[in-house]
Amino acid sequence: MVEVQKIDSANSVIKAKIDNETLEKKKEKIAKEIAKKAKIQGFRPGKVPVKVVKKMYADEIERDAVSEAVREILDEGIKQLGAVDVIGEPQVTKFDKKEDGIDVEINVYTKPEINIDDSYKECVPDVELPEVSEEEIQKELENIAKAESTTKISNKETLEKGDIAVIDFKGYINGKPMENGSAESYPLEIGSGSFIPGFEEQLESMKVGETRKIKVMFPENYGAKELAGKEAEFEVTLQEIQEKVPAEINDDLAKKYLNNENATVEDLKEYVKNSILQKKKAETYAPLKEKILECLVEKYDIDLPENIVEQEVEVIVGNEAAKLTPAELKELQTNPEKLEEFRNKFKDEAKERVKLTFIIDAIAKKEGVEVSDEELSQIIFYEALMQGQNPQDMIKYYQENGLIPVLKMNLVEEKLLNKLLDEKVKS
């Protein structure tokens, strides 16, 4: 007989006894199935006596019979629990062999019951967004114009920071020419920091046609190990001074920047205004989101699946352990009491995280907020591009490490909080 003890809406214990008669029947059935397929020397296929099979495959038959019995207990227990969502793997917490059978207890973890009313909206404050000034729009337009600038030959007598120096240079280490250490007519923006530290600064005040010898020190962490930490001398000749000419802020710039043949400068201004507004919104929302999450954790009291809490503890412990010194880490690995003490430090944090996950999920469903697979793919694709990685490789990494559900939940949370705050923006 299967008995189900419901501890709370997220944790239950299924109890049962596998009696010897039931176990023997299962062993007999499994042995007969093996006998049909077994190939044993001295017997024709399908004609192997069951008693021979039982003797030869005793351990395997015992294991399969017990597994089948436990699975039936679990299925019956979940059936008795009713319409529940089982979360994670059930855990056999008791397996006690006795003369009359085996006492079994299985912990089952389910999605908790959450009654979410509209009171969560009390956690969302009124929002007043900063205005976008004309000065801010103009400044950003000027930045765009600079980014789209062209170059022209300058009439300046001397090279200054911000100019483009067209140079010939040869590099030497210990008086010997450097491999790949020379170039002709190389355009270098002074102050860009694209060359070795100290190189660009020593070119300032040079005149066209002037040749100057400068000394620099390659950084210790320089990519080419044969040059790292070494002093080098460069012979540099300034061939030409160029200066950047910002693009005109007009319809042509708008067409190019917005990649739209019909765009006007007014469209560009509106685009810039919205971009600045979105940035200000993100800055305004960030601290408010933290307060909303804290409020939600305080407002709702829900049952938590113990296995999910333990998994979250393991995640936090893993992250925190990575910050420890080798000596501290060794102490944890060799001292069970210290390890348990370390784990317990993060139990409350883990509970809050798990609790918040279920609350956000419930509110998101109530608000109709979800993240499609297409949105998820776009986010991963964008992240991969920003990190200079192959999008397919990143998707594979997320999948293999079980991070897709985590990422999806984070995106749901972000969309939900933005929606709640958007509704509280004062017009």
What's the average pLDDT block by block, 10 residues per block, for the chain (427 residues)? Answer: 90 92 85 72 65 74 87 91 86 90 92 88 93 95 93 92 94 90 94 91 94 93 85 94 94 94 95 95 94 94 92 89 87 86 91 94 94 87 84 84 85 95 87
DSSP letter (8 states) at residue 247 = P
Tokens standing for residue 109: 């973890």
All structural domains of the chain, each given as residue ranges with its CATH number in brackets, are: 3-109 (3.30.70.1050), 150-245 (3.10.50.40), 285-422 (1.10.3120.10)
Output the pLDDT for position 1.
83
Cα angle for residues 187, 191, 192 (degrees, 5° grid): 65
> What's the pLDDT score for residue 136?
96
pTM value? 0.73
| Calpha distance 337→343 (Å, rounded) | 10
Burial per residue of 269-301, b for 16 or more beta-carbon CB atoms within 10 angstroms, e otherwise: bebbbeebeeeebeeebeebbeebbeebbeebe
Q: Do residues 267 and 260 lie in contact, with contact meaning Cβ atoms separated by under 8 Å? A: yes
343-358 burial, b at 16+ Cβ within 10 Å, e below that, comes to beebeeebbbbbbbbb
At residue 264, the pLDDT reads 95
Strand partners, 240: 166
Dihedral class, residue 72 (left if φ above 0, else alpha if ψ from -120 to 50, else beta): alpha
Q: How far apart are CA 122 and CA 116, in angstroms?
A: 13
